[in-house]
Amino acid sequence: MTDLFNRIKPLFRDHAYAGRSLLFLEETDSTNLLCLRTPEIIERNGLVVTAARQTSGIGRLGRRWEQGSSGNLCCSFVIHPEIKMAYVPAITLFAGLSILKTIRALGAVDTSIKWPNDVLVGGRKVSGILCQSRYTGEKMVVVAGIGVNVAGDCGQFHSSLRNKATTLAEHGIEVDRQGLLEEIARQLEDILVRASKGEIRAILGEWTREAKCIGRAIRFANGKSFSAGVIEAVDDKGRLVVKAPSGRIYKVQSGHMDFDYT
């Protein structure tokens, strides 16, 4: 364990929340799980953990995240946010916005975000986010896990993903993992600073414009059955406000539910 901590290097010392220091590992099961099971890591506000190889990457609802064979980015930001607890779920949306801004600055076109955690290029998933939080007794800590398909083509993924996933390289974007991670850290820091100053509505307004989800039909798990409706807004806790044909309004939270919209 001491050895692990000796490998932490400073990154952006002036950052308050994202990327103050960096821990690079050759291999781990999941950067998120490593952070969550290591109290000394959870304590380090601003640490970002990244691994060259992640052997059991996880997505939401017990799903798997495939790193692929081209050295794609897998990282987890340990964030001690200074926002009200109720707004913590919106950090998934903040992370999506920071990835979108990063890849757009690198030249990606036809970018969008699919609520709550997919970043798309040309309608295919190039990045996924998994935010998991822990209450340490004094404060809420968020581990924001980010996977980005950087290099190679989608032939490196399981055949079921080949027409759903894409990589930055497939869109002519050449970037190394470290450079990409640093730019995401800058964008995420900027958004978290704005959030701590009370700009949550403005950030979510920006997110909503990028996600282009208003007016779309959605079907979502509601207890044991499914309900349907039209997305009317995103509230300041990052939930979708959905109006059913009956006029009933639902607040849809991503947590443990299944949903689909096109």
Strands 111-114 and 8-10: unpaired
Nearer to ligand BT5, 2 or 160 (CB): 160
Nearer to ligand BT5, 30 or 187 (CB): 30
**AA letter at 19:** G
Find residue 75's DSSP bridge partners.
Answer: 50, 146
d(CA 96, CA 115): 9
Nearer to ligand BT5, 145 or 229 (CB): 145
d(CA 64, CA 257): 16
Nearest residue to ligand BT5 by CB is 128
Q: What is the nearest approach in angstroms of ligand BT5 to the Cβ of residue 141?
A: 15
> What is the greatest pairwise CA distance in the chain?
60
Nearer to ligand BT5, 163 or 246 (CB): 163
Q: Which residues bind ligand BT5 (CB under 6 A)?
A: 30-32, 57-61, 63-66, 68, 74-76, 117, 125, 128-130, 145-147, 149, 157, 161, 165
DSSP state letters, 195-234: HHTT-HHHHHHHHHHHHT-TT-EEEEEETTEEEEEEEEEE
Q: What is the nearest approach in angstroms of ligand BT5 to the Cβ of residue 77?
A: 10
Q: What is the nearest approach in angstroms of ligand BT5 to the Cβ of residue 65?
A: 4
d(CA 230, CA 242): 5
Q: What is the nearest approach in angstroms of ligand BT5 to the Cβ of residue 247?
A: 30
d(CA 10, CA 20): 6
Q: What is the nearest approach in angstroms of ligand BT5 to the Cβ of residue 86?
A: 23
Q: What is the nearest approach in angstroms of ligand BT5 to the Cβ of residue 215?
A: 22
Find residue 53's DSSP bridge partners.
Answer: 27
Q: Is 248 exposed, middle or buried (0-12, 13-18, 19+ CB in 10 A)?
A: exposed
Nearer to ligand BT5, 153 or 199 (CB): 153
Nearer to ligand BT5, 219 or 243 (CB): 219
